[in-house]
C-alpha cells in the first residue's frame, strides 16, 4: 500500500511545488499561442526524452463549433482512473434526477415501552453517520421505548459483491477501497493514529473508534527515534488475514502519524455502534440479527421514521469534487432496477447518449480498477452531451474548480486558468487524467480530456505535465 498512501501524503508537497513552476514559466511568458502552433507546443511537452515510454491520449475541442484543436490517440483505450466517475455520475443523474435521495427506513413492531422488533433497512446511504443513529435513538426515546427484543438490520439492498473483485489486494484495506454494503456508517472508515513514545520504544496506537478498530489485528513494529530521523512508516496487509503490519521509525518530535483504514465488516460495526448508542439512551437490546434481503418487511411492522441523504446533486458533487470512491460505487449500484442490472442500465444510458459500448469497458464506478478502459473521444462526447442536457448546471457544479475546491484546489492558483477550469481529475500510480471544461479569453469555451498511462514518473510530475498543457490552452489566440 505504500505506493499509494506514501504518494498521497507526498502529493501535498508536490501540489504546491511542481505545478507552480509550470504555471510561473507560462505566466511570465506573455506570448499568445496560435491554434496552428498548438500541436507543436503540446508535443514539445509530451515528447521530451523522459516521456518517451508513456502513452498519451488527448482530445481538445471547441464547444461552440466542435472544432478539434488537438487530438492524439483519441480513439484508443486508456485506463481513466477517477475520470470513470464522469460516466457514473452523469448516468445516475440522467436516470434518477437531481432531487433523488436515498431513504433509510426504520420500522417497529410492538408498543411502548417494549418493542418486539426494531428493523432498519440499509439502503447504502454513504452519508450515514453516528448522528443518524442518534436520531433513531432519540425518536425511540420520545416514543417511550425502553426495551427491544429483536434488533434486525437488513444489509442486502445493494447488489453484491461489496468489494470489487478487480481491485488490487493491497488497496482494499484502506479508506479509498472500503466495502460497499447497504449498512454504511462513517463511510466505512476508521483512523489509526501513531503517537511517539520514549526514545527507542514502540509507538502507541489509538483508534478513532474502538468498535471499528477491534476488527483489526495490528503487528506494531514502529519505534520512536531521534527527532532527526526520517518518518519512514509503511503499512502492509498480511495476506488472507484481517491483519496489518506497521513498521518504520517515527521522530520523537512528531505529533502524530494518521492512517485512514477500511472497516472490514461494516455491518457488524453498524450493529455494535447502534446498540451502544441505544444503551446510552436508556434502551436495552435483547437480541440482534443482521440479514441479507431486500423486501422482507411485513404488514405488522410500522414505519417509525426515514432518514434521508442529501439530494443527488449534492451526492455527485462529493463524488466528483472530492473523488469519493464509496459514493461512486453506491451510485453505480443505484443504476440497477428490476429489469436491468447496473451495468446494463449504464450501457443503455450511454448508448442513448450516442456513446458506443465499444468506446469504454468499465469494471467499477469509481475508477479504482485498473481493468477500466475508455477512449478520450468517449469522455469528450459525454462532456459535450452533459453540457447540452437539462442538468448542465448541476453537472458542471459537481466538478472541481481550478484553484478553488476539490481535487483542483491547489492547482492553477494565481494563473488565468483559476476559476475557469471545471474538471475531474484521476490518479493511480503511473496514471494521471484530467477532463472537463475550460473558459478561455480568446478562444471561447473548450472541452478536453488529457490522459497519460504507462508512466514510471510520480503522480506529481504527471500532473505538472498535464498542467503545462492546460496553461498553453489559456494562452490560445485567434491568429
Other residues' Cβ atoms within 10 Å of the Cβ of residue 69 = 18
Is residue 443 located within the same domain as residue 300?
Answer: no
**Pairing, β 444-453 against β 55-62:** antiparallel
Query: Is residue 172 in a domain?
Result: no
- Is 368 exposed, middle or buried, given 0-12, 13-18 or 19+ CB atoms closer than 10 A? buried
Is residue 303 located within the same domain as residue 380?
Answer: no
Structural domain harbouring 400? 2-99+313-477
Cis peptide before 113 (omega within 30 of 0): yes
pLDDT 10s digit of each residue in the chain, 479 long?
333 343 333 333 333 333 334 544 444 445 689 999 999 999 999 999 988 899 999 999 999 999 999 999 999 999 999 999 999 999 999 999 999 999 999 999 999 999 999 999 999 999 999 999 999 999 999 999 999 999 999 999 999 999 999 999 989 999 999 999 999 999 999 999 999 999 999 999 999 999 999 999 999 999 999 988 888 999 988 876 789 999 999 999 988 999 999 999 999 999 999 999 999 999 999 999 999 877 677 778 999 999 999 999 999 999 999 999 999 999 999 999 999 999 999 999 999 999 999 999 999 999 999 999 999 999 999 999 999 999 999 999 999 999 999 999 999 999 999 999 999 999 999 999 999 999 999 899 999 999 999 999 999 999 999 999 999 999 999 88
Is residue 276 located within the same domain as residue 249?
Answer: no
Is residue 12 located within the same domain as residue 82?
Answer: yes
Is residue 439 located within the same domain as residue 467?
Answer: yes
In sequence order, which residues have a C-beta less than 8 Å from that of residue 171 and are 6 or more positions away?
1, 4, 177, 368
Average pLDDT over all residues of the chain: 92
Is residue 35 located within the same domain as residue 74?
Answer: yes
Is the Cβ–Cβ distance between 428 and 378 less than 8 Å? no
Is the Cβ–Cβ distance between 13 and 463 less than 8 Å? no
Is residue 198 located within the same domain as residue 281?
Answer: no
Query: Is residue 175 in a domain?
Result: no
Query: Is residue 168 in a domain?
Result: no
Is residue 229 located within the same domain as residue 319?
Answer: no
Residue 76 has which C-alpha cell?
Answer: 484508443
Residue 394's region, left for phi above 0, alpha for psi from -120 to 50, else beta, is alpha
Residue matched to cell numbers 504518494 = 7
Q: Let me know how long the chain is.
A: 479
d(CA 92, CA 90): 6
Query: Is residue 31 in a domain?
Result: yes
Q: Which of 203, 227, 262 is the last residue of a domain?
A: 262
Query: Is residue 117 in a domain?
Result: yes
Q: What do you get for the CA distance between the two ends of the chain, in Å? A: 49
Angle CA 164–327–445, to nearest 5: 115
Q: What is the pLDDT of residue 295?
A: 66
CATH code assigned at 378: 3.40.710.10
Number of domains in the chain: 3
Query: Is residue 113 in a domain?
Result: yes
Is residue 80 located within the same domain as residue 111?
Answer: no
Query: Is residue 281 in a domain?
Result: yes
Q: Which of 285, 309, 333 is the last residue of a domain?
A: 309
Query: Is residue 355 in a domain?
Result: yes
Is residue 256 located within the same domain as residue 280?
Answer: no
CATH code assigned at 132: 3.50.80.20
Q: What is the pLDDT of residue 399?
A: 98
Cis peptide before 161 (omega within 30 of 0): yes
Q: What is the pLDDT of residue 240?
A: 63
Q: What is the pLDDT of residues 240-252, one digit of tens each?
A: 678 999 999 999 9
Is residue 81 located within the same domain as residue 141?
Answer: no
Is residue 146 located within the same domain as residue 283?
Answer: yes
Amino acid at each position: 500500500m505504500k505506493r499509494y498512501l506514501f504518494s498521497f501524503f507526498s502529493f501535498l508537497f508536490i501540489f504546491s511545488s511542481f505545478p507552480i513552476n509550470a504555471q510561473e514559466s507560462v505566466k511570465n511568458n506573455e506570448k499568445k499561442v496560435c491554434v496552428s502552433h498548438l500541436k507543436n507546443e503540446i508535443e514539445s511537452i509530451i515528447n521530451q526524452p523522459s516521456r518517451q515510454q508513456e502513452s498519451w491520449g488527448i482530445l481538445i475541442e471547441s464547444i461552440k463549433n466542435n472544432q478539434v484543436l488537438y487530438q492524439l490517440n483519441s480513439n484508443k483505450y486508456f485506463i481513466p482512473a477517477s475520470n470513470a466517475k464522469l460516466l457514473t455520475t452523469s448516468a445516475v443523474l440522467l436516470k434518477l434526477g437531481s432531487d433523488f435521495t436515498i431513504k433509510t427506513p426504520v420500522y417497529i413492531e410492538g408498543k411502548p415501552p417494549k418493542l418486539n422488533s426494531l428493523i432498519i433497512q440499509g439502503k447504502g446511504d454513504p452519508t450515514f453517520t453516528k448522528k443518524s443513529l442518534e436520531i433513531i435513538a432519540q425518536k425511540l426515546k420520545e416514543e417511550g421505548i425502553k426495551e427491544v427484543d429483536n434488533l434486525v438490520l437488513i444489509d442486502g439492498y445493494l447488489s453484491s459483491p461489496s468489494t470489487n473483485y478487480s481491485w488490487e489486494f493491497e488497496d482494499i484495506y484502506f479508506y479509498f477501497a472500503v466495502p460497499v454494503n447497504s449498512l454504511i456508517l462513517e463511510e466505512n472508515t476508521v483512523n489509526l493514529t501513531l503517537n511517539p513514545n520514549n526514545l527507542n520504544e514502540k509507538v502507541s496506537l489509538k483508534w478513532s473508534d474502538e468498535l471499528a478498530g477491534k476488527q483489526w489485528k495490528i503487528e506494531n513494529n514502529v519505534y520512536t527515534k531521534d527527532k532527526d530521523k526520517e518518518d519512514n512508516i509503511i503499512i502492509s496487509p498480511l495476506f488472507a488475514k484481517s491483519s496489518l503490519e506497521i513498521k518504520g521509525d517515527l521522530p520523537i518530535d512528531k505529533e502524530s502519524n494518521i492512517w485512514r483504514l477500511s472497516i472490514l465488516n461494516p455491518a457488524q460495526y453498524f450493529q455494535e455502534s447502534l446498540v451502544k448508542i441505544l444503551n446510552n439512551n436508556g434502551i436495552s437490546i435483547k437480541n440482534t440479527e443482521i440479514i441479507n434481503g431486500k423486501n422482507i418487511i411485513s404488514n405488522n411492522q410500522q414505519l417509525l421514521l426515514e432518514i434521508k441523504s442529501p439530494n443527488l446533486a449534492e451526492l455527485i458533487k462529493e463524488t466528483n469534487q472530492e473523488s469519493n470512491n464509496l459514493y461512486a460505487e453506491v451510485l453505480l449500484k443505484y443504476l440497477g432496477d428490476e429489469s436491468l442490472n447496473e451495468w446494463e442500465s449504464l450501457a443503455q444510458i450511454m448508448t442513448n447518449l450516442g456513446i458506443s459500448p465499444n468506446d469504454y469497458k468499465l469494471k467499477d464506478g469509481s475508477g479504482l480498477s485498473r481493468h477500466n478502459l475508455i477512449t478520450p473521444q468517449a469522455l469528450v462526447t459525454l462532456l459535450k452531451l452533459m453540457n447540452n442536457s437539462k442538468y448542465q448546471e448541476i453537472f458542471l457544479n459537481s466538478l472541481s474548480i481550478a484553484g478553488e475546491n476539490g481535487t483542483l484546489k491547489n492547482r492553477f492558483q494565481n494563473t488565468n486558468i483559476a476559476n475557469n477550469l471545471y474538471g475531474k481529475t484521476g490518479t493511480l500510480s503511473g496514471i494521471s487524467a484530467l477532463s472537463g471544461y475550460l473558459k478561455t479569453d480568446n478562444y471561447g469555451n473548450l472541452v478536453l480530456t488529457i490522459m497519460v498511462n504507462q508512466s514510471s514518473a510520480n503522480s506529481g510530475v504527471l500532473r505538472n505535465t498535464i498542467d503545462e498543457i492546460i496553461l498553453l490552452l489559456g494562452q490560445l489566440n485567434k491568429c
